[in-house]
Chains A and B, each alone.
Chain A
Amino acid sequence: MTEKLHEFVESLKIANPEWVGDVKDALGEVTVTVPREHIFAACEFLRDSLGFDLLADLCGCDRGPEDDPRFEVNYHLFSTTHHKRLRLKVLLSEDDPQVESVTPLWKSADWHERETFDLVGVIFENHPDLRRILLPSDFDGHALRKDYPLRGYEPYSMN
């Protein structure tokens, strides 16, 4: 079921072996861990040469304050021609949660990246308009971090 996906990963490796870190095949899905500095180039190659023209989803995840690297950003790529899905993963440390934005490649990344910034606190470099999207602009902290309490620090007032 995942042979075709492994072929894509192979061509990614041939294009530049530095792009591909860890490759995981589980539950019929292939996850490629990409070093942070290469994510834009790897995405560009996947979009232009391997037909992954639609960014289905982009989401951040906090593994918890005691983990290092603490944050991960998952890119779920999809193709409207061959209908395969590939997950790219970027791992980020707590001190420097920055990764290059893929908005120039897919316009849909705009809001996904804003949401990830808002809720997890990952900073996307070169993003055209990195503002909070779901929470108010004066909100303190990032709600989806594991060390953020479920009910918040204090009752939030809209005033």
Chain B
Amino acid sequence: MTSAVETIAADFDAIDEPLETQMTLSMGPQHPSTHGVLRLDLRLDGELVVKAIPDIGYLHTGMEKLFEYKKYQQGIVITDRMDYLNPLGNNLVYVMAAEKLLQIEIPERAQVVRVLMCELQRIASHMVWLGTHCLDIGAMSVFFYCFRQREKILNLIEAASGGRMTPSYFRIGGLMMDLPAGFDRRVRQFLEDFPEGMQTFDTLVTGNRIWQSRTKDIGYISKEDAISWGLTGPCLRASGVDLDLRRDNPYTGYETYDFDIPVETGGDVWARFMVRMRELEESYKIVRQALDRLKPGPIKADAPKVVLPDRDDMRKHMDSLIHHFLIVAEGFNVPPGEVYFPIEASKGELGVYMKSNGGPKPERVHFRGPSFVNLAALPVMSEGEMVADVVAIIGSLDIVLGEIDR
């Protein structure tokens, strides 16, 4: 006769044995924690992920094809819609690739404003990452604190460019227009308030034991794997590779700013979280330095055939009127050639390959989105983890499907 206790033990053994059949779970594309329209084909053994296959393309709008039919300056508005959490970064990489082909020098003030706006945008992008990452794992209220900070930055971007999510603020040869009066005062006000916000996040999230147990040792990727899978940005730095294009392939004068590059060696969700949290402070430092450097000066390059003239000049000078007409009606010719221009966007290396054959429209524009490459490494990180952890891993990758599908 078997006792009741022994029967229970035998039942538990049965639970520990692997199931005879594996289950396929289609996660997405409407699942909110896949950050857009990502579908994951999960092969499950109980609650363990045996195989994960990302399926993308639900948001494909053929942007790379569209670039070939638009003039160079018309392409800027398309870039806004790729990584819609970091539109200024997309604007920057596109206009800088075109400027490299045209070999235009950008005036000092325009460069400082570009750095200032890009770092503000990086903070805003990281705010969305933190908010949604916490929301995925179950910390509801952090989302609202994050979006409160992001709202302030979006207001600043709106003040400068007129658009909140789609600024198109950087133009080939400079900026759309100068910063409005009192802009630096508003940024300083934001900088004054932001450390308190950071304090809130640290109290709510970083020191939270539930948060730590949900993120530590989850979604591990080794240094070698991270390089082989082509991870860049915070995901790569979390695996112990000290690489930041702002320092290593500097552009727009980033080499003259003083900032540190946070590196973690854990390679897990927690490490990626910590890298981004520390990056927020570095962006804060850069914004402060850029504000101090903001001196009056021209915001457009001296290239009348490429840069739209001022309205005032158009009323007084005939050549300005002619240039304006030609740029708008026919566009400007870009010398034949090809460039690959990479920047450190908020999610990693955002590169653009631009090829010109001499006309006013590019022959080929290819965007190397950091989310696209980082998402490809999701199976390595999530295989062997629980289903609930897959959600945490997706959050830690900080993907935007608009950029992946283009």
Q: Are A107 and B57 in contact (CB under 8 A)?
A: no
Q: Are A61 and B227 in contact (CB under 8 A)?
A: no
Query: How many residues of chain A have a CB within 8 Å of chain B?
Result: 36
B232: A residues at CB distance < 8 A: 54
B56: A residues at CB distance < 8 A: 133-134
Q: Mark B367-397, 1 if CB is under 8 A from A, else 0.
A: 0100011001100000000000000000000
Out of A27, A61, A134, which one reaches B100, CB within 8 Å? A27
Q: Mark B222-238, 1 if CB is under 8 A from A, else 0.
A: 00010111101000100
A7-15, A38-46, A79-87, A92-100: which one contacts chain B? A79-87
A143 at the interface (CB under 8 A from B): yes
Q: For window 44-99 of chain A, which residues contact chain B by CB distance below 8 Å?
A: 53-57, 59, 61-63, 74, 76, 78, 80, 83, 85, 87
Given the known A-B contacts A56-B368, A83-B249, are A76 and B351 also in contact in the complex, defined by CB atoms under 8 Å? yes
B interface residues with partner A (beta carbon < 8 Å): 56-57, 60, 62, 64-66, 69, 100-101, 103, 225, 227-230, 232, 236, 241, 243, 248-249, 337-340, 342, 349, 351, 353, 355, 363-364, 366, 368, 372-373, 376-377, 405-406
**Chain A residue with Cβ nearest B336:** A26
Given the known A-B contacts A27-B337, A61-B363, are A80 and B60 also in contact in the complex, defined by CB atoms under 8 Å? no
Q: Are B338 and A31 in contact (CB under 8 A)?
A: yes
Given the known A-B contacts A56-B349, A61-B364, A87-B340, are A108 and B229 also in contact in the complex, defined by CB atoms under 8 Å? yes
Can you list the 7 inter-chain pairs with the closest CB atoms, starting with the nearest? A108-B230, A57-B368, A59-B366, A83-B248, A134-B57, A111-B376, A134-B60
Tally of A-B residue pairs with Cβ under 8 A? 97
Q: Is the interface of B mostly helix, strand, loop or mixed?
A: mixed
Interchain CA distance A56-B253 in the complex, whole Å? 22
Interface centre among B241, B243, B373 (most CB of A within 10 A): B373
Given the known A-B contacts A57-B368, A83-B249, A143-B62, are A27 and B228 also in contact in the complex, defined by CB atoms under 8 Å? no
A132: B residues at CB distance < 8 A: 57
Q: In the complex, given contacts A54-B232, A56-B351, A85-B340, what are 15 additional A-B residue pairs having Cβ atoms less than 8 angstroms apart?
A: A31-B338, A55-B230, A57-B353, A61-B363, A76-B351, A80-B227, A80-B241, A83-B248, A87-B340, A107-B229, A108-B230, A134-B405, A135-B57, A143-B62, A144-B65
Q: Are B64 and A119 in contact (CB under 8 A)?
A: yes
Interchain CA distance A148-B243 in the complex, whole Å? 39
B339: A residues at CB distance < 8 A: 27, 29
Out of A54, A83, A111, which one reaches B227, CB within 8 Å? A54
Interchain CA distance A132-B376 in the complex, whole Å? 14
Q: Are B65 and A150 in contact (CB under 8 A)?
A: yes
Out of A61, A112, A144, which one reaches B355, CB within 8 Å? A61
A-B CB contact pairs (8 Å), 23 listed: A27-B101, A27-B103, A27-B339, A31-B338, A53-B227, A61-B364, A61-B366, A63-B363, A76-B368, A80-B241, A80-B243, A83-B243, A85-B249, A85-B340, A107-B225, A107-B229, A108-B229, A108-B373, A110-B376, A111-B372, A134-B56, A143-B65, A144-B364
Q: Are B337 and A26 in contact (CB under 8 A)?
A: yes
A107: B residues at CB distance < 8 A: 225, 228-230, 376-377
**Chain B residue with Cβ nearest A84:** B249
**Chain B residue with Cβ nearest A87:** B340
Q: Are A29 and B340 in contact (CB under 8 A)?
A: yes
A80: B residues at CB distance < 8 A: 227, 236, 241, 243
A119: B residues at CB distance < 8 A: 64
A29: B residues at CB distance < 8 A: 338-340
Interchain CA distance A113-B169 in the complex, whole Å? 33
Q: Nearest chain A CB to B43's CB is how many angstroms away?
A: 15
Interchain CA distance A22-B45 in the complex, whole Å? 52
